[in-house]
Amino acid sequence: MNANGQIYCYGPLLHTVQMAKLFPDSKTFVDMKLKASPETTLEDFDAFMASKNNTPTRDEIREFVDAHFGEKGTELDVWTPTDWVERPGFLDLVHDPDLRQWGMDLNNIWRELGRKMKEDVQKNPQYYSIIPVPNPVIVPGGRFIEFYYWDSYWIIRGLLHSEMTNTARGMIENFLNMVQRIGFIPNGGRVYYWGRSQPPLLTAMVKSYVDFTKDDLFAINALDVLEHEFEYFINNHTVQAKGHNLVAYRDSSSGPRPESYSEDVETSESFDTEAAKEDHYSELKSAAESGMDFSSRWYINEDGTNVGNLTNAKTRSIVPVELNAILYWNAKMIAEFHSKAGNVEKMTEYETKAQKIKEAIQAVLWNEEAGCWLDYDLINDKPRNYYVSSNLSPLWVKAYNISDSEKISASVLKYIENNKLDTFPGGVPNTLYQTGEQWDFPNVWAPMQYILVEGLDNLGTPEAKELSQRWGQRWVKSNFEAYRETLAMFEKYDAEKFGGHGGGGEYGVQTGFGWTNGVIIEWLAKYGRQISLSGNTGGAAPSSRIISLLGVTAVALVGALAGRFIW
Ligand SMILES: OC[C@H]1O[C@H](O[C@H]2O[C@H](CO)[C@@H](O)[C@H](O)[C@H]2O)[C@H](O)[C@@H](O)[C@@H]1O
């Protein structure tokens, strides 16, 4: 990390400014550019604090910030991807004209979400919190104006379906470059995310790229870096459960999350000692590493249940199903790339690693009684029998014995029925517990919807495939309804309302939105021949043909003007 760590990541300046709550969103301050070098800024800050007896007023802090920081986001230019095409081939697979038009609108949105760093970022990185990367990126949107690690998997798949292979490869190369430079991929493209990663999907991005382009050499050349990332996760995240090695989410930094500083300080107030507060911060940042920040999924209260609030977060003591499943998958894909390169020894080494992870998943996380995989509570040494969408993630990456498919299918479908997961018009919720946190009921998120639907499809039994298709098509139709009404693609949606967007958590619902668009484009390509909007559940079919007008959808605009906008 360069000298600006003491400004953007920790220290008295960060504390003073963030606790003054100058901005409605805490992320704003840590995204602002420095006007002078970090050294000068820190000297000025010391002098400023001394001159104010260490107790400046809020207005004085604001003046200090105005004098020393520029606007957020000025380090990035909006970038039109050079490989963008007006009519990617996936549109020809979509038979319904309104859905096809929507596909065109989504393809247009890539141009709004493209970002390129100004040259000065490479020359003077210490002035910025953004992490310099060589190639332009597609960002999620809204307040998220930098890359996010796991979001990029679905963005890249959407780009590949949109024939933007150069942009996709550039983003993957950025990640490879980051592993080489930093040793791992941070949560997002800002220095303040330095202590944590996100679900490790780099190897899967490479696999997606190779599947689309048939460029095996790309994967073979990336092998050293992919192995490095795999080992980083194993070396820094391993925990023991029932005599097996598994992995759990972790963070290696200290202090509150810089981008949500005052929020974390406030929840830490119920802890008495500095050590307990520090532990609390680590639990929150580890939850952020999971990408599911926040959720009752990470709560363990004194009774050993998930009832509680953020002060009950015990992320580091929960063995998460999907992280272990993804690492299994990574080992399998690395073995496959080694096999393509003819490295038999290395292939066998990674097949063996994969086999061990699969055995651990089966022994610790599969739960015969529940009929599904469950997270494991290391404090109370017991499975956590609460529905979370990630419980079904081994289906997505086939982290089970394929010969058991029939039995697993019967169990998992029963689990789905018992939890009434097929009853929600707006998609399958992330959990069934409503806490007000954004990764809890009733919110539905595109990546998890994808993992569920693709997982059931992979399982391969007719019943699982039928459900997969129904859920996939329901999701497309519900997202379309939301778009038709609001002209927006959302970060999260509402399971209880067909076409309803999500909410809750510590910031307002964002639009844009990278992974949502990626999933829809992939599923328009997948279901486009069968899916039609007539009989659209819970929402009227569009009354008139959508006409694209300068990238704006006319019928939605009419809806918006008629007062149907929700903000
Ligand atoms: O600022 C609060 C948190 O915001 C991010 O998390 C959410 O948005 C990400 C980008 O779409 C997504 O990857 C994550 O799953 C969401 O929960 C950020 O990743 C967090 O670290 C941050 O604390």
The answer to whether position 330 is within a domain reads no
Nearest partner of 397 among 332, 314, 301, judged by Cα:
332
**Mutational pocket test of ligand 1: of 144, 251, 431, the residue with most ligand atoms within 8 Å of the beta carbon:** 144
Report the pLDDT value the prediction gives residue 567, as an integer from 0 to 100.
20
Domain for residue 20, yes or no?
A: yes
Q: Is residue 168 in some structural domain? A: no
Q: Which of 293, 295, 388 to mutate to test the pocket of ligand 1 (most atoms within 8 A of CB)?
A: 293
Q: How many CA atoms lie within 13 A of 485 on its CB side?
A: 17
CA-proximal residue: ligand 1, atom 18 (nearest): 288
The pLDDT, as a whole number, for residue 524 is: 98
Residue 1 lies in a domain: yes
What pLDDT is recorded for position 534?
79
Q: What pLDDT was estimated at residue 1?
A: 64
CA of 398 to the centre of ligand 1 (A): 27
Total residue count of the chain as it appears in this document: 567
Instruction: Establish if 51 belongs to a structural domain.
Output: yes
Residue of 279, 339, 264 lying closest to 15 (CA atoms): 264
* Torsional sign, CA 400, 404, 405, 409: negative
336 located within any domain:
no
Atom of ligand 1 minimally distant from the CA of 506: 2
For residue 50, with 0-12 CB atoms within 10 Å meaning exposed, 13-18 middle and 19 or more buried, which class applies?
exposed
Catalytic residues: 293, 491
For the CA of 447, the nearest atom of ligand 1: 15
Question: From ligand 1's centre to the CA of 293, what distance in Å?
Answer: 7
Which parts of 69-201 fold into alpha helices (H)?
A: 97-113, 119-123, 149-161, 165-182
Q: What share of the chain is helix, strand, coil (3-state, %, to 5)?
A: 55, 10, 35
Question: H or E segment at 25?
Answer: none
To which H or E segment does residue 471 belong? helix 462-486
Residue 511 Cα, ligand 1 centroid: separation in angstroms? 14
Task: Classify residue 14: in a domain, yes or no.
Answer: yes
- pLDDT for 305 equals 98
CA 292 to ligand 1 centroid distance, Å:
8
Per-residue DSSP letter, 60: H
Structural domain boundaries enclosing 25: 1-74
- Ligand 1 atom closest to 515 (CA): 11
Task: Give the pTM.
Answer: 0.94
Determine contact, residues 209/168, Cβ cutoff 8 Å: yes
Which atom of ligand 1 is closest in space to residue 257's alpha carbon? 23
- What is the Å distance from ligand 1's center to 207 Cα? 24
- Please give the average pLDDT of every successive group of 10 residues along the chain, which has 567 residues: 89 98 98 98 98 98 98 95 98 97 98 97 96 97 98 98 98 98 97 98 98 98 98 98 98 98 98 98 98 98 98 98 98 98 98 98 98 98 98 98 98 98 98 98 98 98 98 98 97 98 95 98 97 65 34 37 27
Give the chain's domain count. Answer: 1
Please indicate, yes or no, if residue 405 is contained in any of the structural domains.
Answer: no
**Which protein residue's CA is at the shortest distance from atom 15 of ligand 1?**
291
Q: How far is the CA of 291 from the centre of ligand 1 (A)?
A: 6
- Please tell me the distance from the alpha carbon of residue 469 to that of residue 456, in angstroms, as a whole number: 9
Which residues in 259-322 belong to E strands, given as ranges? 318-319
Average pLDDT across the chain, whole number:
94
Q: Which residues line ligand 1 (CB under 6 A)?
A: 27, 140, 144, 148, 150-151, 187-188, 257, 259-260, 288, 291, 293
Strand partners of residue 373: 366
- Using DSSP bridges, classify how beta strands 376-377 and 382-383 pair: parallel, antiparallel or unpaired: antiparallel
